[in-house]
Structure 1
Amino acid sequence: MYMAVHLRKRITPLIPKYLVEPPQSDVDNTSKIVEPEPIDVKELLNSLDVEKIEPGYLQGGRKQAIKQYQGFLDDKLEGYADQRNDPNMDLQSHMSPYLHFGQVSPIELAIQVQEKKGDGPREYLEQLIVRRELAFNMVHYNPEYDNIKCLPDWAQTTLREHANDPRPYTYTSEELENAETHDPYWNKAQTEMTKTGKMHGYMRMYW
């Protein structure tokens, strides 16, 4: 089940059942962990022999996630339904990295957005629940999710038949990484990724 139209029919009726606040519990024991010595994270990173890229658009952590999301609800949600796919409009919630690293729960995001009016909440839940779960579903049930074998037979056949077609341009991995292609839109998407650490949702499909 790798198409949104199929998963949506099955998952939508179940949303009210699972979209509930998780129970809260009190910690009834005192931690015996000894406080470690303070760590200078920047100094530690600088000591590593790795390329130093520091996207500065978003700051990590739960507090920043909550701050970003509240700004989205207050200032962007109203236009989300109609203009979310326009990369020139900054109407994304920017929750992807926070969700990815577990700094915020999709349940709490969904509960908060449901309290708002208009078409924005419906469209946001489509992305947060249906599309997100569709990706998880694909990865869980298809062991070939990360290579060409995950594609339908007709797509694989087409790719094989045209594998040796002449192409106006070919690029090295370095040129692609540095956004040095002849496609200005692809370059913009790649540059956004390297500069900010994320890419506009609609441009991900193009990229």
Structure 2
Amino acid sequence: MKNINSLRVFKRNENEPNPEGEFVLYWMQINRRLHYNFALEYAVAWANKLGKPLLVFEALSCDYPWRTARTHWFIMQGMAEHQEIAEKEGFNYYSFLEEEAGEYPALFRELAAKSCLVVTDEYPIFIMRKRNESIPQTLDVPYYSIDSNGIIPMKMTDKAPYSAYIFRKTMQKQFRHCFEHPPKENPLADLQNRDMVQLGESVTQKYPDAKTAGRFSKEWLAGIDVDQSVKPLAIEGTRKAGLERTTQFLEFDLKAYDEERNDPDTEGTSRLSPWLHFGKISEHELVDHALRRQPRDWSRDTLKPQNGKRDGFFGGETGIEAWLDELITWREVGFHFAHHTPNYDQFESLPDWAQETLTEHEADPRPVVYTYEQLANAETEDDIWNAAQRQLVREGRIHNYLRMLWGKKVLQWTPDARTALDYLIRLNNIYAIDGRDPNSYSGIFWIFGRFDRAWGPERKIFGKVRYMTSDSTRKKVKIKEYLKKYARF
């Protein structure tokens, strides 16, 4: 375990390993991958140290906030892929799809009781954060959560970064050291004890694995208590699909990213966030692939901190530098902020100046006020906003540039900032396949001033918060074909 960066390890209780345990349990919660995974690597190291087999446990609750058929199916596809890999490569993997609330936590407790210790994924928000804070105190074995989220470990920052500029300064100072200590490509290759784990009928009959129970199907999904109106997407939730999209982006869109990412008609964005959110692909491998496409004379020796400035740190191709800043700085600032901010999803987590100005303008008359249902159904007077909402409902995403306008208009069309926050979080977390993510909370709260500064002139409703309009958007980006494409559901 000496190769594991200690900053990534969160020891959640003070229990000693159970020498009578049958296996080391790796509970795969959010970084749902078998490659480039620090948590899986840590679990393998413990299994080798104790001379025990390893059990990889992956499950899906039917009782989580904002659950939809869309999210469920995406996760299920990845679980089915893991099932096939486990059968082919011969390691212990147990998949479980919950049919009734309470089955999943009961199964976990039974597996934990049989284990020497538990290793799982560290994640700073949503149900994973709550589980990792509460469950360890109920167990008799050690519980470790491992940060495999990004390049810069969340423990490396001492407090929540106030802005992307501040976090970028840390990133530039620490990037090379962190990047040169990557996760192993295939940690399971190091596993020494490959004995098969026998859970016994008391477990397997009460909680049958997903394949045996015939649950990897849309027919099974149709009978589960999730929002069935939010349909599965055409994209697949497998690592294979994520890698295919990665190759397509790197080969055809990466070098032009800086010039084309903001134009909805061009669609020059990576569109990798679904697989990043569910951990199907690792940020480490994406950064490595991108840097390998730098000019031949580029070297890591050229990496010099730029005092937080975006341009100049990575150098080389401008498209590569722009994308890496989005992937590392803007993605990871959300993880670090949430790690240090338990109320990351509350109005009170905004900067003081933003809270003050929005509260001061709370009574300002709105040009129009829409209900949540009208917004969800794209029933507004603004054709750009309606198109963005239809894309969200249809494809589970909004073009990156239009997402900013989408949020700003909701602030303008709701009675107050707290209502706007509630609506945006609900719309995003229900429809976006990459919702319920630190990065998506960064995007939503940026609308209200997080990671931004006070702007002038002071305006009605917005106060000192940055202002955006549909008219200015039409002038800045190419949007004609986008409006045609999303003119209707």
Confirm or deny a common fold (TM above 0.5): yes
State whether residues 215 and 221 of structure 2, in contact with CA within 8 Å, keep that contact through their aligned partners in structure 1: no
State whether residues 260 and 266 of structure 2, in contact with CA within 8 Å, keep that contact through their aligned partners in structure 1: yes
Which residue does the alignment assign to 2:196?
Answer: 31
Which residue does the alignment assign to 2:278?
Answer: 101
Alignment of structure 1 residues 1-207 onto 2, 5 Å: 1-20=161-180, 21-23=182-184, 24-25=186-187, 26=189, 27-28=191-192, 29-32=194-197, 36-37=211-212, 38-49=214-225, 50-117=227-294, 118-207=317-406
Q: Within 1, Cα distance between the matches of 2:196 and 2:395?
A: 37
Provide, for residues 146-166 of structure 1, a one-character-per-residue CA deviation record: whole Å limited to 9, x for no partner: 121122222222222221222
* Aligned-residue CA RMSD (Å): 1.9
The residue type equivalent to 2:245 in the other structure is Q
The residue type equivalent to 1:124 in the other structure is W
Q: Within 2, Cα distance between the matches of 1:100 and 1:91?
A: 20
Greater shift in the superposed pair: 46-55 or 8-17 = 46-55
| Higher RCO (CA-CA < 8 Å; seq separation 6+) | 1
Q: Within 2, Cα distance between the matches of 1:31 and 1:202?
A: 50
The residue type equivalent to 1:195 in the other structure is R
**TM-score calculated relative to the size of structure 2:** 0.40
Q: Call closer, same or farther: CA 1:175–1:73 in 2, change over 3 Å.
A: same
Q: Which is strand-richer, 1 or 2?
A: 2
Q: Call closer, same or farther: CA 1:111–1:40 in 2, change over 3 Å.
A: closer
Provide, for residues 98-145 of structure 1, a one-character-per-residue CA deviation record: whole Å limited to 9, x for no partner: 011010000000000111132111111101111111111221122332
Identical positions, percent: 36
Provide, for residues 153-205 of structure 1, a one-character-per-residue CA deviation record: whole Å limited to 9, x for no partner: 22222222221222221111111111111222222222111111122222222
State whether residues 55 and 194 of structure 1, in contact with CA within 8 Å, keep that contact through their aligned partners in structure 2: no
State whether residues 8 and 130 of structure 1, in contact with CA within 8 Å, keep that contact through their aligned partners in structure 2: yes
Secondary structure, aligned partner of 2:231: coil
- Give ranges in structure 2 of 5+ residues lacking alignment: 1-160, 199-203, 295-316, 407-489
Provide, for residues 78-99 of structure 1, a one-character-per-residue CA deviation record: whole Å limited to 9, x for no partner: 2101121222221111111101
Secondary structure, aligned partner of 1:78: coil
Greater shift in the superposed pair: 62-71 or 15-24 = 15-24
Q: Within 2, Cα distance between the matches of 1:175 and 1:54?
A: 19
The residue type equivalent to 1:197 in the other structure is G
Greater shift in the superposed pair: 21-30 or 194-203 = 21-30
State whether residues 258 and 322 of structure 2, in contact with CA within 8 Å, keep that contact through their aligned partners in structure 1: yes
The residue type equivalent to 1:46 in the other structure is A
Provide, for residues 54-89 of structure 1, a one-character-per-residue CA deviation record: whole Å limited to 9, x for no partner: 243422110000000100011111210112122222
- Give ranges in structure 1 of 5+ residues lacking alignment: none
Greater shift in the superposed pair: 28-37 or 87-96 = 28-37
Q: Which is helix-richer, 1 or 2?
A: 1
Q: How many residues align?
A: 207
Q: Within 2, Cα distance between the matches of 1:45 and 1:10?
A: 44
Q: Within 2, Cα distance between the matches of 1:188 and 1:74?
A: 29
